[in-house]
């Protein structure tokens, strides 16, 4: 009888502790569902929404292009498209002539914009624009209606994350580590479409 009571109490303790640990586990956040975890406010907490910066993006792009076997890789390279058109590539393989442009703008997270080629295209009809400033302070905007197919425009907008002053409240937020994994995964998909 004592053995049965011992086994029963052990079973109850294990069951309770495993159900408690399931309650505190972070949900599985993926590239398919992460917008569902966007939070507008957390009562009693300061909630911050931030975006991955272009220097972190450039580092990941460079790593992944090298891992995929691309050579002569440079970051923040000015590329001449035509006599009047230039782009600033955030990462570019000079040997393979493929790379990424970066659109460094964002708005509050909205999943509909994730599939856009660029937010600039949506607003102006042009894929990309670059501002060129001369030493005499004159500025000229170079607008490119259709970016060549050997470039992919990587938008800052979809790569947002959130955090609070109280880490215990972050278990259901898209954190920076999660969004960096999503960014890296998205980059690998694009790189796989490039020809070496």
d(CA 94, CA 196): 10
Residue spans of the domains in the chain: they are 33-193
What secondary structure letter does DSSP report for 125? S
d(CA 105, CA 153): 12
Task: Give the residue among 194, 193, 191 at the shortest CA–CA distance from 64.
Answer: 191
- Two tokens at 80? 């001449």
d(CA 158, CA 181): 13
DSSP three-state, residue 88: strand
Q: What is the pLDDT tens value at each position of the chain, 196 positions in all?
A: 444 343 334 333 434 444 444 445 667 899 999 999 999 888 878 899 999 999 999 999 999 999 999 999 999 999 999 988 989 999 999 999 999 999 999 999 999 999 999 999 999 999 999 988 989 989 999 999 999 999 999 999 999 999 998 777 677 899 999 999 999 999 999 999 998 7
Q: Enumerate the β-bridge partners of residue 177.
A: none
d(CA 2, CA 152): 69
Q: Enumerate the β-bridge partners of residue 63.
A: none
d(CA 81, CA 63): 25
Task: Give the residue among 54, 38, 51 at the shortest CA–CA distance from 176.
Answer: 51
Please, which residues have CB within 8 angstroms of residue 132's CB and are 6 or more apart in sequence? 86, 139, 140, 141, 142
């Amino acid at each position: 009888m004592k053995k049965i009571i011992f086994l029963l109490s052990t079973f109850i303790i294990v069951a309770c502790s495993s159900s408690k640990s399931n309650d505190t586990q972070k949900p599985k956040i993926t590239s398919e569902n992460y917008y569902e975890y966007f939070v507008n406010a957390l009562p009693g907490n300061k909630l911050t929404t931030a975006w991955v910066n272009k220097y972190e993006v450039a580092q990941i792009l460079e790593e992944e292009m090298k891992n995929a076997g691309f050579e002569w890789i440079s970051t923040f390279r000015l590329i001449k498209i035509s006599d009047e058109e230039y782009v600033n590539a955030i990462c570019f393989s000079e040997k393979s002539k493929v790379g990424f442009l970066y659109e460094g703008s964002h708005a509050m997270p909205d999943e509909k914009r994730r599939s856009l080629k660029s937010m600039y295209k949506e607003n102006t009809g042009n894929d990309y624009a670059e501002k060129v400033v001369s030493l005499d302070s004159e500025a000229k905007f170079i607008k490119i209606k259709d970016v060549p197919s050997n470039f992919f425009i990587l938008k800052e907008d979809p790569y947002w994350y959130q955090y609070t002053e109280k880490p215990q409240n972050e278990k259901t937020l898209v954190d920076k580590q999660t969004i960096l994994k999503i960014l890296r995964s998205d980059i690998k998909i694009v790189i796989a479409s490039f020809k070496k």
